[in-house]
Amino acid sequence: MDIGIGLPGHAPWSDGRVLVEWARRAEARGFGTLSVSDRLVWSTPEPLVTLAAAAGATSRIRLLTSVLLGPLRANHALFAKEVATLDQLAGPGRLRLGLAPGLRPDDFAAGGSDYTTRGKDLDRLLERLAAAGDDQVGPRPATPGGPPLLFGGHSEAALRRVTTYGAGWIAGDATVPGVREFTPRLAEAWTRAGRTGSPRVVASVMYALGPDAEAAVSRAIAPYYAFAGEDYARYGVSLAHTTPEAVRTAVEEFAAIGCDELIFMGNDPDPGQVDLLADAVGL
């Protein structure tokens, strides 16, 4: 199982150069993937811009949006050009796009998009991405066929997107029982669609390490999930991994259920968190 690390974009960072330092350290310590999350109504950095900076600061580590809110990218031709440009900057085989319709109505209100049609809007975006090589808009991607797509969600629509357009599925705030419950449905849908091989299964979990770990998690996660109520915010905090032992247990348990990749999302902006995680997982 590959081990990745996620930038602490939802945490209270204040200097974007810190995120670039995370990227450099993540590659130096041997992580397989660097991911970045997406929100509009939050201090989260824009994913494609952030990964472009990371691409310029690194040369090998894979880059992933985890997950990008597709329906907010209303100009589909421009988005396809942005993706192809980022793929060129990163080099072939480094970029993957994790996509989802989105959950928060305030993101759509702020972006002037219709929350109720977000699933259909995402499908139209995917159609445009699939046709990106048939026109002269933007550069050709460096990766043959364009960057692989991963999709979040548990709905039938999510399964349809994975089997029609995707290379696999990505689970945010993942738990072992949740992944174990969904993957048989994923495998069945993949086979039913006539796809060969197996869909890639990527799980993403929260972490912070060190003497301030629990406080850092509370500062980052509790406000981020406050929209869903105090109980859910506490639940989100409780899922985070805050000791090396908890991190190693997560690696063992997600590997045991057949995950292809596990990504630890940072909650403390200190770049030293990269080294603490690398030490915990044995990189």
User: What integer pLDDT is reported at residue 228 of this predicted model?
Assistant: 84
Please tell me whether residue 88 adopts helix, strand or coil conformation.
helix
Residue 272, domain extent: 2-281
How many domains, the chain? 1
User: 275 — alpha (psi -120 to 50), left (phi > 0) or beta?
Assistant: alpha
User: What integer pLDDT is reported at residue 133 of this predicted model?
Assistant: 66
User: What integer pLDDT is reported at residue 189 of this predicted model?
Assistant: 98
CATH number at residue 144: 3.20.20.30
Specify the pairing of strand 95-100 against strand 62-69: parallel
User: What integer pLDDT is reported at residue 273 of this predicted model?
Assistant: 98
Taking a C-beta distance cutoff of 8 angstroms, is the pair 31, 278 a contact? yes
User: What integer pLDDT is reported at residue 218 of this predicted model?
Assistant: 95
User: 108 — alpha (psi -120 to 50), left (phi > 0) or beta?
Assistant: alpha
Q: What is the mean pLDDT of each run of 10 residues along the chain (283 residues)?
A: 97 96 98 97 96 98 97 95 96 98 95 96 94 78 95 97 98 96 97 97 98 96 89 90 98 98 98 98 97
User: What integer pLDDT is reported at residue 83 of this predicted model?
Assistant: 96
